[in-house]
Structure 1
Amino acid sequence: MLLLFSLGTGQAATIDLEPLVTGLARPVAIAHAGDGSARLFLVLQEGQVLIYDGTEVLPTPFLDIAPLVSCCGERGLLGIAFPPHYRSSGFFFVNYTNTAGNTVIARYRVSADPNVADPASATILLTIPQPFANHNGGQLQFGPDGYLYIGTGDGGAAGDPQNNAQNLGNLLGKLLRIDVDNGEPYTIPPDNPFVGKAGAREEIWAFGLRNPWRFSFDRLTGDLFIADVGQDRWEEVDWQPATSPGGENYGWRRMEGKHCFLPSTNCNDGTLTLPILEYSHEQGCSIIGGYRYRGSQIPWHYGTYFYADYCSGRIWGAREEKSGRWTSTLLLETGLSISTFGQDEKGELYLAHYSESDGTLYRLKGKAPLPPLCNIQMSQPTYRDGDTVTASVVQIANPGPSPLAVEIKVWLESPASELFSVLNRGADGSLLLPPETEKDFGPVSLFRVRPAFARGEYALNCRVLHPITGATLVLDQNRFSLQ
């Protein structure tokens, strides 16, 4: 079943949501193990992790630590991460709020049953005191460098009253980076930006965050996207290139988004890293960070960064322009309480609708009919010397939001050889078709038949290609013969 949601702006939606699992109790995170099993791990806030095997949710939880967890509000079991070596080590890591209200980062190991973890295998890596009940962060993710990254909130209340996010002496309002493979329970990567700095916690990779929910790495480039929940007016997405040495100050509480917060003026002394995206509370009230899409099922959104808002249920897609500026487009009005995005092993995206007892796992799908169009009709089936070979209709359409490449070529089928390209715009023989455009070439005279041309069956191919991967999205072919 595919649910159709509204875009609400008069333009055609380019995605829809396919429900996969219903009846989930407070889903807050989705992850994969990277072990080739194609399983999705669904984190429930009250303390369970379930497995969706592609068909159903397995009846036995993968992990159940509910007695250790304080839930709910912004507390609970909030995140899970699997290291690159999970298939061989069996280790994985979770982020939860303990019964004392503090944040715990713990390591567990899978049991002899690959679908059940050993709850007695816990090793606690970090316990972070929380002064208030909200802003606990919760995201865990392994970076391209193999280190574990941990997002923490500023400790809660309103306006970061303890100024934790700007204080390098504690772990609140930060992005942490630790080595969980060398030393127990963890060690500090030697290139962390505050190693050796007096008074600073060396686990810190970046700071100035209010409540990062969530962050993700671009699986192609390694760039980092951090969605940081705002205070009263602005939600933001921060960005860090893969080449960064760390140490960025993303501004909170001096700034909320690109605007001064405390102080109300003259807040940026030039040392702050401003967000690449922001939106006001007229559009929502709590950002949900997603992923930059690198899958294959929605090719027109390849390279789009997806994010949403919990309060409004809106989903946006952001793309980087050649200038480096990011622009965002509203993709879907869902009316859902979106709590998290997830990514599978192939780069396809999922999200969860939050509910106490009827949460839902959705898969993002391209909305039909979205495939690009490439249509060719020959004027006649057979041609002889002196005839002009004509394609009576050549119509090409790209309904998606990103450019696609078009290739039209004439081939002798046996033995296979290219006669010529009808459209030859660039070294690769392709025509780049802009987003949301349609071209109708009408009757096109392709060539005049000459005695030198080989006789036989020819094919006129029109292919629409993904401009980056080269994958064929649509192929239309008509045959004709030369006699």
Structure 2
Amino acid sequence: MSMMSKPRWSLLATVTLVTTLLAGAPAAAQDEGPITDPIPEDPVTSELGLTVREFAQFPKSEPTPAPTDPRLMRHARINHLGELPDGSGRKYVPDLNGNLYFVPESGEPEVYLDVKAEFPDFFSGRGMGQGFGFVTFDPDFRRNGVFYTVHTEAGAALDKETTFPRQPRTQYHGIVTEWRADDPASDTFHGTSREILRLGFAQQIHGIQQIDFNPTAKRNSEDHGLLYIAVGDGGLGVSSTEPQDLSTPHGKILRIDPHGNDSVNGQYGVPASNPFVGQQDAVGEIFAYGMRDPHRFSWDPKRGPGGNRMFLGHIGQHAIESVYEVRKGDNLGWSEREGTFRYDRADDCYLYPLPDDDGNYDYVYPVAQYDHNPPPDWECGTDVGRAISGGFVYRGDDAPELRGKYLFADLVDGRVFYTESGEMRRGAEPATIHTMRLYDENGNWVTTPELAGDTRVDLRFGRDADGELYLLSKANGKIWKITGTKRFADCPTGSTVVKNAMGEKNWAPVTPEKWEFPRREVVLAEEGSERPGPRRPYEYAVLTKGPEFGSVRLDAQVRLDTPVEVTNRDVVLVFGYQSDTRFYYAHLSTDNTIYPHNGIFVVDDADRERIDHQWDPVRSQGAAPAITDAEWHEVSLTHCAETGEIAVYVDGQRDPLMTAVDPTFTSGRVGFGSFDNVGRLRDLSVMGRKS
């Protein structure tokens, strides 16, 4: 988890930098000052959601020693799901507090190995990633019974010799252990173990995260049977260049041959194909470097051109959570870079534009990234509660609409994201990040905090042998399987159509003299004035042609005639209209920074209430501005009466600009208007189901 943040004040430092900041390998910026909002654009709300069903519930577990940090007080600290590479269908799940579970098809977890009991100095009660961190199984497990674990130790263990020189003032050791089961088919471990690697870390953060084999590597290929080890910087990158130092394993991804013996400790081999083998003062085990906290990595199973790429979810420091495509020899830039920005170790609060000579350093930049977006009064240097958990490119069969999408999450708040793998290209503009909704087995919208029963979700992804994906939460120790997809506001809207309704006789304005009806247009020619009663749009006209609709879809083109210099200009689309004080409206505005603008609202005999999902009251920011110019714009609005789902699309975008779920009105008429601005409507089409 990120330990530092940055305050979010004005956008003045970044107004001229937007193009630069969004680029994968951006050019140097003109302004060299600190950047207060590195990525102004939020992830896009996707129309595509995930359907999930509960797969397993794990028993409660306790850290050792008893924790003082409430973030470690979880039901069960499960953090990964995989499937044994033996065709048995058994899933495996590690719990940081000590147990390795097997989960058969029944979904009932069974303890396969108590890792904690095997090590007297086992340590899981301090630091976010301490304990039994990860497990992976040898590709030939069915034959040889071999698998590997990562765990942490403290206390007397700190006197033990480490494989490489430990960091100064070491507080714990991270250990990779090889286990050999006597009977690979057994559901309880019996066998032997040996230590193959031990590293010492200065702080109780950023240790050994994931260890894994490349599941796409064919037998006899270079990568087959080689073990990847993601090693964090031990928290030292904020003040040192250790992640850039090739003489130490910290802040690197290592690649070793666990069946070899030519390492410095003789317990594993160093692949001759590693990029720094033979280089003076370089650790030959290093595969890639320049990392702070490399949390989760995976390979895209796709074959052929563009396939089998390795993606890494990398947890940032000041502001940036990022996804990298990692190749042999890559330098991700930490602690000189954070995402596509320059990191200054003397500044605890800000990131900076890249320097003019950035191209000389050969840093690799993210293929996707998002920032922390803390509140305006956030105290610099404290944990803002954002941290990426890497995921997987989906290539399964249960959810065809997900194929080719890289799914990942923010492990703290539980947001689920995807990017298109085809957009994730090195050296290009970072891919668009989409936020996904979740639906339960009955099709009801549910949030991850609701599923987990906690606002701190501690969410991770898992994948089985068929390529199907799972969600895991430490908060309540549950796993859910992703069973398919569901589109938001994808209801049948009926077959009753209203067209050719632009004539004056088809409209009922609040103030008729303010309106004009030239051919094919409805024009609000004079701004409205505030009226008695609840706060609501000042001036609008209701379409009287056709019936009242239940579920309805409205398509039209709108234009704002108020000069573009006026930032708070708007037009509104009215729907679910019952009366002058009971209706919905979608507010389309240039300004997305104040409560009454650029959102979806309900008026129910009281002042308008904002109901869209995009509004963030802490940051006082909503969806991206809907209209910023004087041109015509296509707008589509769908209201599903039975579910209360509302979606607003602008200019043919695949994903909705605004969404809401509200049950207040299940039928009504549609209309067009504004508060105190002028604008016009044309090419109106209304299709719905008679109420």
2:260/2:270 contact within 8 Å kept: no
Name the % identity: 27
Helix, strand or coil for the counterpart of 1:139? strand
Indicate how the Cα distance of structure 1 residues 201 and 436 shifts in structure 2: closer, same or farther if over 3 A, else same.
closer
2:46/2:435 contact within 8 Å kept: no
Match of 1:129 in 2: 200
Instruction: Report Cα offsets for 1:117-154 as digits up to 9, x if no partner.
Output: 23x61111100111111111320110222211010100
1:110/1:116 contact within 8 Å kept: no
Match of 2:131 in 1: 76
Helix, strand or coil for the counterpart of 1:138? strand
Match of 1:18 in 2: 53
1:250/1:272 contact within 8 Å kept: yes
Distance 2:234 2:240 in 1: 8
Aligned residues: 361
Indicate how the Cα distance of structure 1 residues 271 and 301 shifts in structure 2: closer, same or farther if over 3 A, else same.
same
Indicate how the Cα distance of structure 1 residues 41 and 163 shifts in structure 2: closer, same or farther if over 3 A, else same.
same
Helix, strand or coil for the counterpart of 1:29? coil
Indicate how the Cα distance of structure 1 residues 304 and 155 shifts in structure 2: closer, same or farther if over 3 A, else same.
same
1:164 aligned to 203, 228, 242, which one? Answer: 242
Match of 2:31 in 1: none
TM-score, normalised on structure 1? 0.70
Distance 2:150 2:418 in 1: 28
Match of 1:319 in 2: 420
1:334 aligned to 448, 451, 462, which one? Answer: 448
CA shift for structure 1 position 9: 7.9
Distance 1:217 1:205 in 2: 15
Segments of 5+ residues of structure 1 without an aligned counterpart are: 1-7, 374-433, 438-483
Instruction: Report Cα offsets for 1:328-371 as digits up to 9, x if no partner.
Output: 2111352252342111010001121013xx3111111213579x
Match of 1:94 in 2: 149
Query: Partner letter of residue 107 of structure 1?
Result: E
CA shift for structure 1 position 251: 0.8
Instruction: Report Cα offsets for 1:240-271 as digits up to 9, x if no partner.
Output: 3xxx4x11000111111111112656564431
> Does residue 320 of structure 2 align to residue 234 of structure 1?
yes
1:212/1:229 contact within 8 Å kept: yes
CA shift for structure 1 position 30: 1.6
1:194/1:202 contact within 8 Å kept: yes
TM-score, normalised on structure 2? 0.49
Pairing of 1:307-386 with structure 2 (within 5 A)? 307-321=408-422, 324=425, 326-332=431-437, 333-335=447-449, 336=452, 337-355=457-475, 358-368=476-486
1:16/1:367 contact within 8 Å kept: yes
1:154/1:165 contact within 8 Å kept: yes
> Does residue 337 of structure 2 align to residue 255 of structure 1?
yes
Distance 1:91 1:281 in 2: 40
Indicate how the Cα distance of structure 1 residues 316 and 10 shifts in structure 2: closer, same or farther if over 3 A, else same.
closer
Segments of 5+ residues of structure 2 without an aligned counterpart are: 1-42, 60-75, 158-171, 218-222, 346-351, 375-384, 438-446, 492-652, 657-691
Instruction: Report Cα offsets for 1:461-482 as digits up to 9, x if no partner.
Output: xxxxxxxxxxxxxxxxxxxxxx
Match of 1:457 in 2: none
CA shift for structure 1 position 236: 0.6
Indicate how the Cα distance of structure 1 residues 84 and 207 shifts in structure 2: closer, same or farther if over 3 A, else same.
same
**Which one has a larger percent strand, Structure 1 or Structure 2?**
1
Distance 1:140 1:11 in 2: 32
Match of 1:153 in 2: 232
1:348/1:364 contact within 8 Å kept: yes
- Shifted more, 253-262 versus 313-322: the winner is 313-322
Match of 1:32 in 2: 83
Distance 1:156 1:323 in 2: 28
Indicate how the Cα distance of structure 1 residues 17 and 137 shifts in structure 2: closer, same or farther if over 3 A, else same.
farther
Distance 2:227 2:148 in 1: 9
CA shift for structure 1 position 104: 0.4
Instruction: Report Cα offsets for 1:61-117 as digits up to 9, x if no partner.
Output: 344334522103321111111121111111001111123421101100123352122
Distance 1:340 1:10 in 2: 20
Q: RMSD over aligned Cα, in angstroms?
A: 2.6
- Shifted more, 191-200 versus 254-263: the winner is 254-263
Match of 1:430 in 2: none
Pairing of 1:376-455 with structure 2 (within 5 A)? none
If you compute each CA radius of gyration, which structure gives the higher value, 1 or 2?
2
Indicate how the Cα distance of structure 1 residues 290 and 320 shifts in structure 2: closer, same or farther if over 3 A, else same.
closer
2:103/2:110 contact within 8 Å kept: no
